[in-house]
């Protein structure tokens, strides 16, 4: 019995080896997920506390956030509380207050806190909505 020629798969094409970095060259950039980049950015900004409620679209951020030794997550019972807590934190400490919430209803629950922070010119940042007033 002869094999069916249409069933024979071609051999994979060998990939050329990656060239080594030149001596003295800058190291290759680290590849991060979007969630890791968010947490790394917060760390680089010196953020120490983040208020939030896990859910839906924001869940991928929670893995690197929980792995961070520089940022403490403060769990709230409602997104509106996260927004107002971040605003109060900013007002009391002079630091940037940060809250995170999922998209959709989680984001709309931040609206009152966003409006209040805007009117009082608080240094407050929110995700997915984001603003900073100085």
Per-residue pLDDT tens over the stretch 25-67: 666 678 899 999 999 999 999 999 999 999 999 999 999 999 9
> Whole-prediction pTM value?
0.69
**Is the confidence at residue 131, as pLDDT, over 50?**
no
Please tell me the predicted confidence (pLDDT) of residue 48.
97
Region for residue 96 given its phi and psi (left: phi exceeds 0; alpha: psi -120 to 50; beta: otherwise): beta
CATH 3.40.50.970 given to domain 34-127: yes
What length does the chain have? Answer: 134
Residue 71: phi, psi to the nearest 5? -120, 130
Grade residue 95 by pLDDT with cuts at 50, 70 and 90.
very high
Rounded to an integer, what distance in angstroms lies between the CA atom of residue 113 and that of residue 85? 9
User: Strand, helix or coil at 98?
Assistant: strand
């Amino acid at each position: 019995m002869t094999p069916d020629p249409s069933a024979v798969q071609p051999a994979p094409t060998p990939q050329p080896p990656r060239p080594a970095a030149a001596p003295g060259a800058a190291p290759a950039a680290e590849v991060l997920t979007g969630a890791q980049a968010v947490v790394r950015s917060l760390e680089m900004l010196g953020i120490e506390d983040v208020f939030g409620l896990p859910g839906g679209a924001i869940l991928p951020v929670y893995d690197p956030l929980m792995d961070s030794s520089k940022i403490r997550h403060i769990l709230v019972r409602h997104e509106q509380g996260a927004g107002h807590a971040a605003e109060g934190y900013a007002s009391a400490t002079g630091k940037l207050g940060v809250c995170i919430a999922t998209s959709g209803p989680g984001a709309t629950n931040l609206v009152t806190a966003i409006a209040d922070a805007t009117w009082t010119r608080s240094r407050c940042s929110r995700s997915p909505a984001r603003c900073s007033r100085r």
